Amino acid sequence: MRCCLARRKPLTGLTGINAREMENASMRLRSFDRGSALREFLHRAPHSRRRFLAGLAGLSALPLLPARGSAQAMPALVEARLVAAPREVQLVPEKYPATGVWAYNGSVPGPVLRARQGERLRVHVENALAEQTTVHWHGIRLPNAMDGVPFITQRPIEPGGGFTYEFTLPDAGTFFYHPHQRSYEQVGRGLSGALIVEERTPPEVDRDVLWVLGDYRLSADASIRGGFGHFMDLSHAGRIGNTVTLNGHMPESFRVRAGERLRLRLINAAPARVFALEFRGHRPWVIALDGQPVEPHEPPGGAVVLGPAMRADLILDMTAAPGSRHAVHDGFYARRPYDLVDLEYSDEAPLRARAGDPPRLPDNPLAEPEVRAAERHEIVFTGGMMGDMRGLPRGAAWAVNGVANGCGEGGSPFEPLLVLRKGRSYVLHLVNDTLWHHPIHLHGHSFRVVSRNGRPTRYREWLDTVMLAPRERAEIAFVADNPGDWMFHCHVLEHQASGMMSCIRVG
Ligand code: C2O
Ligand code: CU
């Protein structure tokens, strides 16, 4: 079974978290104002504390896909152009109509940007949407001014305007880009794409494969349903869709050959949906999380769990028999399991008898935090349905240490949650005091997850987005080595838009 149009359920059935909770919640919801309250929350009085970078007008014709520069001594320059515009694409199988989306360069997901570690990336973004936008380079440790956060790091790109982002790529790994302006709608309508930074010496595999996972809420005519920013989605699990896509389509099968070794890069580009992927009949190895290498290990519990914005690089050895077929199954929402795609083996003889140990990727140049000497802070996430939403501004459903911030949109000002000293080590104790999952993302840095619920983590993994289960606590550690104002927020985009947003200043 897969998520598809034929299995559409009414809105309240879509989130699939827990039917009883949902029913209770929707009863209570009737007393809430919807829609306009959020708008009001997001567009409070403009402020003028910051200077804005100038937009770029009059772009010359540039190639749609990156082309390697040729400089020898200087880091090579990879240049690309992204045009955000409405477009019709075939998200669902051909027997259904096309879907009107918002796309980069006409495709959903957007074009794959590829460069090598240490190279410079220059991307000319043009906005052909009817509203403002920005592009955020999720997980890239870049200068603050290139981070794509409206009103904090740049003036949003006006309709018809442009902006050129340029930065060096310090880390190899699997990253992605997406708007940071009204992202709960802009991402929900299709805007995001992969940014792959190759290792200087990539590990040996037969194929380097990318699966960008998307999730859309479609009507029976395959159009994207409206109702973005509905308080029901804001205050629950976010806008979970009814149509899961793999690289912008709904393929039945993915062709493989017995004996081959894949590096499979997974990106969860959905606004709210969590995935827990099981590769039936196979034993994948996780070799990187959020772009950062990790000691190769089998996913705990047998499933690769990816909250919104999270990435995993797997080594997948095709150990099953020629001609066989095996489901990639998503069982995250116990009441709504489905098969994402089938691994379909060709009849060819196995490429090799047995693959060796999985490769260990070379570490990226991250500063190691001194956990013992680190300054510590506690950060508590509250709110949500069945949680405490008392005292929050109209349209807000969540808070970080008691404060509900907007996304900086409309210039709504907010003070930093923390001010950190450049070069010092910090441990942040994150406390999820809600009944919902929250993938918490810090811009401009990667951090080690050193404990969960008081117990040391086995791999001390480097992440940029750490998923907190309901009531879970985690300690993250990092060196505050990148100066600027960095967003620190939940990546369920409706949560981000309705208060689970804050800023950490490094200076
Ligand atoms: Cu992927 Cu603040 O974002
Ligand atoms: Cu959240």
Tell me how far apart the alpha carbons of residues 446 and 400 are, in angstroms, rounded to a whole number.
Answer: 20
Reduce the DSSP state of residue 144 to 3 states and report it. helix
Q: What is the pLDDT, as a whole number, of residue 51? A: 24
Ligand nearest to the CA of 268: 1
Tell whether ligand 1 has an atom less than 6 A from the beta carbon of residue 265.
Answer: no
Reply yes or no on whether the pLDDT at 43 is more than 50.
no
pLDDT digits (tens, 9 = 90+) for 73-126: 678 999 999 999 999 999 999 999 999 999 999 999 999 999 999 999 999 999
How far CA 308 is from CA of 213, 391, 436, 496, in Å, comes to 10, 28, 13, 12
- pTM to 2 decimals? 0.87
Reply yes or no on whether the pLDDT at 399 is more than 90.
yes
Reply yes or no on whether the pLDDT at 216 is more than 80.
yes
Contacting residues for 291 by C-beta, under 8 A, at least 6 apart: 139, 171, 172, 173, 174, 175, 197, 311, 313, 364, 446, 464
Contacting residues for 364 by C-beta, under 8 A, at least 6 apart: 117, 170, 171, 172, 173, 291, 292, 293, 446, 462
Tell whether ligand 1 has an atom less than 6 A from the beta carbon of residue 437.
Answer: no
Residue pair 406/497 in contact by the 8 Å Cβ criterion: yes
Reply yes or no on whether the pLDDT at 32 is more than 80.
no
Give the mean pLDDT of the chain.
87
Nearest Cα neighbor of 412 from 85, 47, 49, 13 is: 47
Confidence at 410, pLDDT banded by 50, 70, 90: low
**How distant is the alpha carbon of residue 502 from its chain centre?**
17
pLDDT digits (tens, 9 = 90+) for 2-17: 444 333 332 222 233 3
Confidence at 409, pLDDT banded by 50, 70, 90: low
For atom 1 of ligand 1, the residue with the nearest CA is 138
Tell whether ligand 1 has an atom less than 6 A from the beta carbon of residue 487.
Answer: yes
Higher pLDDT, 46 or 455: 455
Nearest Cα neighbor of 1 from 480, 341, 411, 262 is: 341
For atom 2 of ligand 1, the residue with the nearest CA is 487
**Identity of residue 2:** R
Tell whether ligand 1 has an atom less than 6 A from the beta carbon of residue 448.
Answer: no
Reply yes or no on whether the pLDDT at 476 is more than 70.
yes
Apex 193 CA angle, 100 and 501, nearest 5:
95
Backbone angle region of 205, left / alpha / beta, with phi > 0 → left and psi within -120 to 50 → alpha: beta
pLDDT digits (tens, 9 = 90+) for 431-449: 999 999 999 999 999 999 9
How are beta strands 447-452 and 462-463 bridged, if at all? antiparallel
- Report the 3 state secondary structure along 248-271: CECCCEEEECCCCEEEEEEEECCC
Indicate the DSSP class of residue 466: E
Whether residue 109 has a cis bond before it, omega within 30° of 0: yes
- CA torsion sign for 30, 40, 192, 158 is positive
User: How many residues are recorded in the chain?
Assistant: 507
